[in-house]
Amino acid sequence: MTPTLNQVDGIAVLTLGDDENRFTPDFLDTVHALLDQVLADGAAGLVTTATGKFYTNGLDLDWLAAHGEQTQWYVGQVQTLLARVLTLPIPTVAAIVGHAFGAGAMLATAHDFRVMRTDRGYFCFPEADIRIPFTPGMAALIQAKLTPQAAVASMTTGRRLGAPEAQTYGIVDAVAAEGAVTSAALDLLRPFAGKDPGTLGAIKTTMFGPAAEALMAAAAPR
């Protein structure tokens, strides 16, 4: 299943897929196209979600292994998406219905808010255990959104955080039961829906400018 888009009460709901939802080049292109549509349609906000056991597992390591010569280009494409979501000019909420690992957890972090399933699924930055250091842009993104304590607890340990622990660290804003994560994300977003995009985009660009610039420093034109 490729990413799909629908609307609920004027809020765009972008479903990432029903498998591991890894960031293949086609996946990234599709998500960008859907974000273009979200903005063109004048959606009041954005919720991203999924339908399987994963929110997203992040980088497509199999694709990378087969296309090692394109690693720099690929990382640039991933970071372009992260920067775009970070500064999107509408309110955003990640509905973390299952596992969010690595760059998938970074995608959730790039949203304004996060809701995570209470009883199943892990939020994890595994880089310390898989021997892949964070890029400057990825580190800047995480550190722009998390407290220093939460950043150290998640970035340096590779720990798999369940929803209650992630909420304790302030990594997620709310938790919800199975089947209620996306609706809880919609409920969280509704009070903030319909902000002026020009104003909100300017605020986010100012707030997260250094992180967005660090992410885009590795980007090549799409």
Residues 6+ apart with CB under 8 A from 43: 7, 10, 11, 12, 90
Reference 188, options 201, 200, 170, 174; nearest CA is 174
pTM, whole model, 2 decimals? Answer: 0.96
Q: 149, 141, 148, 48: which is closest to 102 by C-alpha? A: 141
pLDDT tens for each residue of the chain, 222 residues long: 799 999 999 999 999 999 999 999 999 999 999 999 999 999 999 999 999 899 999 999 999 999 989 999 999 999 999 999 999 999 999 999 999 999 999 999 999 999 999 999 999 999 999 999 999 999 999 999 999 999 999 999 999 999 999 999 999 999 999 999 999 999 999 999 989 999 999 999 999 999 999 999 987 654
What is the set of domains in the chain, with CATH numbers?
4-219 (3.90.226.10)
